[in-house]
Structure 1
Amino acid sequence: MNRKLISLDLDGTTLNSASQISENTKRTLQKAAAAGHIVSIVTGRSDRMAVNYYDELGLTTPMINFNGALGHLPHQDWDEAYEITFQKEIVLDILKSKASLGIELIAAEGRGLKLTDSTDSAISPFFPAASRSQEVLNRLNLTQDPSAITMLVDPAKKAEITRRLQQEYDSAVTVSVWGGAAPVLELSPKNVTKKVGLKFLANHYHIDRQDILAFGDEQNDIEMLKYAGTGIAMQNASPWIKDFANEVTALDNDHDGIAQYLTEHLDLAE
């Protein structure tokens, strides 16, 4: 069997509902890596919010963060690493209009960049509180261009905020809505999706497109699922996400859907 590139979304896919990797899934992914397949995380999460899972799986492959905007080797400098950003002036502009738009919290992130205008750690797990003055999002602290802006918004105004941000910044960024219950909007560099990161990994490892297995469950996985030789939607994915996939796992993310699929298709059974 040809060596496969296994691309893993995290939330709703590799992680169960408790945001954990089950022992069975961990063991199966490690078995796949030991068999010579390439296992890599491709997530919308920042590097700081994904590196614990990378370490837990014992990975040594590049990790893709911010939906394709960052490709790097955690814990080290790497001359092939890349980061795609957009102008920090957009962040400052939105920050200035925050109240009138209906935005409750804003965070600007990139590699080594984590600034937020929240000091309340109880508001949302996706918006870590600024515990030091250097972590507060303002003109003084924002010294580099970000790879992502995430915003917690008034749910009643989400559609209107999305429309206004698209109208204002469409040439520079893509505005997307997070899946799940939280009313979160995300701004990312224009035309950057997980497909960018997946192509980077495939080129790095000289893997043909047909030998890519990509797992996902949400809107931000669509381009990755479409690009992969085999795009695999999770059983728990929205029905319309499944329309973009070649296959659907028999089990959901709470019942080791990835592990079951890989064991069967890569002949990893003991």
Structure 2
Amino acid sequence: MLVKGVSTITKKLIALDLDGTTLNNDGQISARTKATLNQAIKAGCVVSLVTGRPNRISENFYDELHLNSPMINFNGNLGILPHQNWPREYQYTIDKEIVMELLGKSKQLGLSLIAVEGRDLFLANKGIKSGFGFFPSTLKTNQILSQKSLQDNPISITVEVKPELKAGLIDFVEKQFGDQVEVSPWGGPHPIVEIATKGVHKSTGLKFLADYYGILQQDIIAFGDEDNDRTMMSYAGKSVAMKNAIPSIKALANDVTTYTNEEDGVARYLQAHLDLAVSQ
């Protein structure tokens, strides 16, 4: 991939969701996307990953793109400079006693997996073999969740629940802990529910980035495809839904890409709308 030249554009904050947006269906970043984002940075834009993923499975993409901007993880609950101790780092955590309550009632609530995470924390009651890549299939001894092993409040609780009991779980959490946390079912086919601090979303992280760089809302471009991108896209001056996005996100967005995540939709959109001179 050859880059023809670098144009100068108004400084933009380009906020990128990962899965279904920047990543293709194989979970990879294409050469065209890498070159385009590199060109945007050279032209004066800030490119930042704003993802639901934990940092443990997104820092590799951060490094692959050679970014030096803060990264937002856990749907806005963690903001870090990867590989560094950064004074501006933030995190929102939830009371570990909520984890113990769920663990104690796991059979009654139909929970087959309970995983808790933080920036440097991962514990689970078991490995998961369903193959969608977010959790290890086998656990090390020091990764097994128990009252003894969970010493710190986590950022996120993720549970796998029997599909027919999902509504009951959500109702239980909202009634018992609704003043502290909120529940977000994952998109897609997996019966996964995530529990995190109430009122914190991707827009929390996006506002943090905009304030840090002194970038106006009108100069934010946010790309997304799923329901957890909703607040980020509502906050951005320009929200761009992927062609493969769910209908409600397309309806919310200012624009929709002509191409899917599998077809370099983000890269092609930025090339066209920011006049980035990138060619293969």
Matched position secondary structure for 1:48: helix
User: How big is the alpha-carbon RMSD for the aligned residues of Structure 1 and Structure 2?
Assistant: 1.2
The answer to whether 1:232 aligns with 2:237 is: no
- Which amino acid in structure 2 is aligned with residue 213 of structure 1? I
Please state how far the C-alpha of 1:162 moved relative to its aligned partner: 1.6
- 1:131 aligned partner: 139
Aligned to 2:265: 257
Establish whether residue 113 from structure 1 lines up as the match of residue 121 from structure 2.
yes
Tell me the equivalent position of 2:189.
181
Residue 204 (1) aligns with residue 212 (2): yes
Match in the other structure for 1:4: 12
Aligned match of 1:247 = 255
User: What is residue 55 of structure 1 aligned with on the other side?
Assistant: 63
Show CA shifts across 1:235-264 (max 9, x none): 101111112111111111000110011001
- Residues 69, 192 of structure 1: 8 Å contact kept: yes
Question: Are residues 1:166 and 2:174 paired?
Answer: yes
Do residues 145 (structure 1) and 153 (structure 2) align?
yes
Q: Does 2:38 correspond to 1:37?
A: no
> Which is further off, 65-74 or 236-245?
236-245
Which of 70, 79, 87 aligns to 1:79? It is 87
In 1: Cα distance, 2:43 partner to 2:131 partner: 43
Aligned residues of 1:217 and 1:233 also touching (Cα < 8 A): yes
Q: Residue 268 of structure 1 corresponds to which residue in structure 2?
A: 276
Q: Report how many residues are paired.
A: 270
The separation in 1 between residues aligned to 2:80 and 2:194, in whole angstroms, is: 21
Distance in 1, Cα, partners of 2:89 & 2:126: 30
Q: Distance in 2 between matches of 1:146 and 1:129?
A: 21
| CA distance in structure 1 between the aligned counterparts of 2:196 and 2:131, rounded to whole angstroms | 23
In the TM superposition, residue 130 of structure 1 has moved relative to its aligned partner by 5.3
Q: Distance in 2 between matches of 1:238 and 1:69?
A: 23
1:193 aligns with 2:201: yes
* 2-structure distance, mates of 1:250, 1:124: 27
CA distance in 2, matches of 1:124, 1:99: 23
The percentage of counterpart residues that share the same residue type is 49
Gaps of 5+ in 1: none
CA distance in 2, matches of 1:17, 1:124: 12
How far is 1:132 from its partner? 2.3
Deviation at 1:52, TM superposition (A): 0.6
In 1, Cα distance between the equivalents of 2:228 and 2:130? Answer: 26
* Partner of residue 22, structure 2: 14
Q: Which residue of 1 aligns with 2:165?
A: 157
3-state SS of 2:154 partner: coil
Following superposition, the deviation at residue 124 of structure 1 comes to: 5.0
For residue 269 of structure 1, report the CA deviation from its aligned partner. Answer: 2.1
Q: Is the 8 A contact 1:6 1:38 kept in 2?
A: yes
Deviation at 1:122, TM superposition (A): 5.7
Q: Mark the runs of 5 or more structure 2 residues left unpaired by the alignment.
A: 1-8
Tell me the equivalent position of 2:54.
46
Residues 234, 119 of structure 1: CA spacing in aligned structure 2 closer, same or farther, 3 A cutoff? closer
